[in-house]
Amino acid sequence: MFRALQTAALGMSAQQMSVDNIANNLANVNTTGFKKSTIAFQDLFYQTINGSDSGSTASGTGSSATDLQIGLGSRPAATIRNFSQGSLQNTGNPLDMAVSGQGFFQVLQPDGSVAYTRDGTFTLNSDGTLVNSSGLPLASQIQVPPNTQSVQITKDGTINAMLQGQTQPVNLGQLQLARFVNPEGLRALGDNLYAPTVASGQPYLGTAGSDGFGSIEQGYLENSNVDIVNEMVSLITAQRAYEINSKMIQTADQMMSLTNAIKQ
């Protein structure tokens, strides 16, 4: 009975964590470049009630029977992030960018390290430097002159500016994208940023539109890839599983009460 109580309690805890993850997905349904995640669970070790040594059987073949094992619940093992492409939305803002395909933008953090993001919401700070919504500059350090009339960003990441009084655009630089062998292994930092880990591997840098990198779409942003319908189905499944595990605890408690009544 005590095994059933503990196993059901672990099941309730697992489903609670699953609901927490679904809540985070739904909360970020409108977050630019957000990638949904799921929690992978593993069963815990098994308790062998009785093991049969090899010996004679009724048929005399000498083969051993299967051990009697009882599982002791489940535990969360990892968070798996889905980096499938989100839909692209036209914003009309010439500084907004979206990666159509594989690749991450690179931004510099205050400590000088590089973080990676799919959020292409960029703007200019007081120095004319191209920064993201958190004020972090691009690793390419693109600076737009104050007398710029328009900015053009090509699909390969080349940034040109048309300056006032000039007839030819001025090249301001080119963005490099980063790619990972296993992007699911990236560690989420918040603020739509990711950091590499041992699981993700080190980034490969390259030009947009070549060598497997996606192209850059000016004036677009990538929407979250959260599917509300699928999340609601997962939520109902987790809720029902939580209720069943709760019922299991009630059943085990009732059985223990009956056992105690028999002893009395």
The pLDDT of residue 54 is: 45
Up-side HSE of residue 247: CA atoms within 13 Å toward CB? 6
pLDDT of residue 1: 59
- pLDDT in the model for residue 4: 83
Cα angle: 154, vertex 157, 163; to 5 degrees: 65
- pLDDT score recorded for residue 216: 96
- Residue 66 pLDDT: 73
- Give the span between the Cα atoms of 124 and 18, in whole angstroms: 39
Q: Residues 136-140: contacts with CB within 8 Å, 24+ apart?
A: 136/107, 136/108, 136/109, 136/110, 137/107, 137/108, 138/105, 138/106, 138/107, 138/108, 138/175, 139/106, 139/107, 139/108, 139/114, 139/176, 140/106, 140/173, 140/174, 140/175, 140/176
Which pLDDT value is given to residue 38?
A: 94
For the chain, list the strands marked E by DSSP: 37-43, 46-50, 68-71, 74-81, 88-90, 97-100, 105-108, 114-117, 122-124, 130-132, 148-153, 158-163, 170-174, 176-179, 187-190, 193-195, 204-207, 215-218, 220-222
Write the CB contacts of 128 (distance below 8 Å, at least 6 apart in sequence).
143, 144, 145, 146
Q: How many residues does the chain have?
A: 264
DSSP string, 2-22: HHHHHHHHHHHHHHHHHHHHH
The position carrying tokens 């900015």 is 151
3-class state of residue 151 by DSSP: strand
Cβ partners under 8 Å of residue 145, min gap 6: 128, 161, 163, 170
Per-residue pLDDT of the chain (264 residues; tens, 9 = 90+): 578 888 888 888 899 999 999 999 999 999 999 999 999 988 887 878 775 554 444 444 544 567 788 888 888 888 899 999 999 999 999 999 999 999 999 999 999 999 999 999 999 999 999 999 999 999 989 999 999 999 999 999 999 999 998 889 999 999 999 999 999 999 999 999 999 999 999 999 999 999 899 999 999 999 999 999 999 999 999 999 999 988 888 888 788 888 777 866
SS3 258: helix
Q: What is the predicted pLDDT for the residue at 56? A: 43
